[in-house]
Amino acid sequence: MKRIYCDYAATTPVDERVLEAMLPCFREFYGNASSIHAFGLRAKRLLDTARGQVAQVIAAEAHEIVFTSGGTEANNLALQGFAYASQSAGEILVSATEHPSVRQTCMHLQQQGWKITRLPADSQGRIDPETVQAAISPETRLISIMTVNNEVGTINPLAEIAALAAEKGIALHTDAVQAFGKIPIDVKTMPVTLLSLSGHKIYGPKGAGALYIRRGTRLGKILFGGRQEHDLRAGTENIPAIVGLGKAAELMSAHGLEEQQRLTQLADDLLKGLQKQAGAQLNGPVEGRLPQILNISFPGKDSLSLAMALDLRGIAVSIGSACSSGTVQPSHVLKAMRVPDSLQKSSVRFSLGRSTTKQDISATVAAVTEVVR
């Protein structure tokens, strides 16, 4: 049985070219980047190259990038770091559709006296800039709104929100884990303060991510120890993973847009096929979305049964938020979009990527149709 992976939003395979770039870091260039000898200097150079590769994707300066262990840590560092550097607790505006790594960090900060205000999404999962504007109060210190939603693919109007935040002098964090390298982001023209990204969503290794920190932004620490990463992230740098992240970022800038066009076509074929043959209903916008993430309900069916039946036919999909699947929780994103309960319970996420082919799409449509019928 040929297995078809339709879960690229959960994680991606490591690109061969990324793996090739990483291997010498295990075999030859295993120095500690803080060491003063030649091995250490070599590691430091690799680190600097990767920093430049990541920065380039979003038009940042290399020194504005701090490597972390992934998107979760980047989100934690952004929010907690911002709060710890503030003189006093204030308000954080956060969208209702954020990833748990933002939601839970906000809950933690709430216990420390911060006021957390959740911004409602519209029926497409989008945060309207007017909603943000109306929620801003004299206590608002930080706004956190994801660039692309991981469950439904909605792209938020970040440029407008960033302009709004900048005008009011409020810091803006965006979780760009699903967006980085897939949609154009330019921090020179879009005034975001903090931006999180992750390696394993762009064909890099797991356990590597980064936080973009706009020059001049003060952040407190969440890890204590050595003075690595501009004294913002203690711990010996994971050079192989960081080199992999750098290479993966470079490949995204080289091929990202072309690949996006290919995936748009494939996703369109998948959606049309499923709508025609399996009664699929798309959750999320038709326009203004990352095309390769398709959240689809099959009225009258049960998500878990569908996902399991598809797995038996070799097709890997997600239900709810991939990061927390295993436990079948109702999706806070679909709830925030006010998707009716019955449709929430029958939703499945298909996410496509670099190795998805036209044949995979036809086979997936056929298998889903059979399972649904």
Ligand X SMILES: Cc1ncc(COP(=O)(O)O)c(C=O)c1O
Q: In the complex, what is the shortest distance from the CB of residue 352 to ligand X, in angstroms, rounded to a whole number?
A: 15
- Degrees to nearest 5, angle at CA 274 with 289 and 352: 45
Report the phi/psi class of residue 279: left, alpha or beta, with left for phi > 0 and alpha for psi in -120 to 50.
left
Q: In the complex, what is the shortest distance from the CB of residue 178 to ligand X, in angstroms, rounded to a whole number?
A: 5
Q: In the complex, what is the shortest distance from the CB of residue 331 to ligand X, in angstroms, rounded to a whole number?
A: 13
- Select 31 or 209, whichever has its Cβ closest to ligand X: 209
- Select 144 or 193, whichever has its Cβ closest to ligand X: 144
Q: Which of 150, 193, 292, 346 binds ligand X (CB under 6 A)?
A: 150
155-214 binders of ligand X (CB under 6 A): 175, 177-178, 198, 200, 209
Place of tokens 């004294």: 231
Is 99 an interacting residue with respect to ligand X (CB under 6 A)?
yes
DSSP letter assigned to residue 170: -
Strands 140-144 and 171-175: parallel
Can you read off the two tokens belonging to residue 137? 């109060």
**Phi, psi (deg, nearest 5) at residue 302:** -115, 130
Return d(Cα 174, Cα 161) in angstroms, integer. Answer: 10
Is 323 an interacting residue with respect to ligand X (CB under 6 A)?
yes
Contact 55, 215 (CB under 8 A): no
Contact 127, 119 (CB under 8 A): yes
Rounded alpha-carbon distances, angstroms, from residue 54 to 61, 209, 234: 9, 10, 20
Q: Which of 70, 153, 204, 291 binds ligand X (CB under 6 A)?
A: 70
Q: In the complex, what is the shortest distance from the CB of residue 373 to ligand X, in angstroms, rounded to a whole number?
A: 32
- Select 278 or 348, whichever has its Cβ closest to ligand X: 348
Q: In the complex, what is the shortest distance from the CB of residue 5 to ligand X, in angstroms, rounded to a whole number?
A: 15
- Select 154 or 228, whichever has its Cβ closest to ligand X: 154
What track of x and - describes contact with ligand X for positions 13 through 52 (by CB under 6 A)?
----------------------------------------
Count residues binding ligand X (CB under 6 A): 15
> Other C-beta atoms within 10 Å of 118: how many?
16
Is 101 an interacting residue with respect to ligand X (CB under 6 A)?
yes
Half-sphere exposure at residue 214, Cβ-oriented, CA atoms within 13 angstroms = 18
Q: In the complex, what is the shortest distance from the CB of residue 102 to ligand X, in angstroms, rounded to a whole number?
A: 7
Tell me which stretch binds ligand X (CB under 6 A): 39-47, 67-75, 163-171, 292-300: 67-75
Is 71 an interacting residue with respect to ligand X (CB under 6 A)?
yes
188 class by beta-carbon count within 10 Å (0-12 exposed, 13-18 middle, 19+ buried): exposed
Tell me which stretch binds ligand X (CB under 6 A): 39-47, 70-78, 153-161, 344-352: 70-78
Q: In the complex, what is the shortest distance from the CB of residue 70 to ligand X, in angstroms, rounded to a whole number?
A: 3
Of 265, 293, 310, the residue nearest 125 (C-alpha):
293
- Select 126 or 200, whichever has its Cβ closest to ligand X: 200
Contact 217, 171 (CB under 8 A): yes
- Give catalytic residues, as residue numbers: 323
Q: Which of 54, 142, 146, 187 binds ligand X (CB under 6 A)?
A: 146
Contact 289, 151 (CB under 8 A): no
**In the chain, which ranges are continuous DSSP H helix?**
16-27, 38-57, 71-85, 100-111, 129-135, 158-168, 228-231, 239-278, 303-312, 332-336, 341-344, 358-372
Q: Which residues bind ligand X (CB under 6 A)?
A: 70-72, 75, 99, 101, 146, 150, 175, 177-178, 198, 200, 209, 323
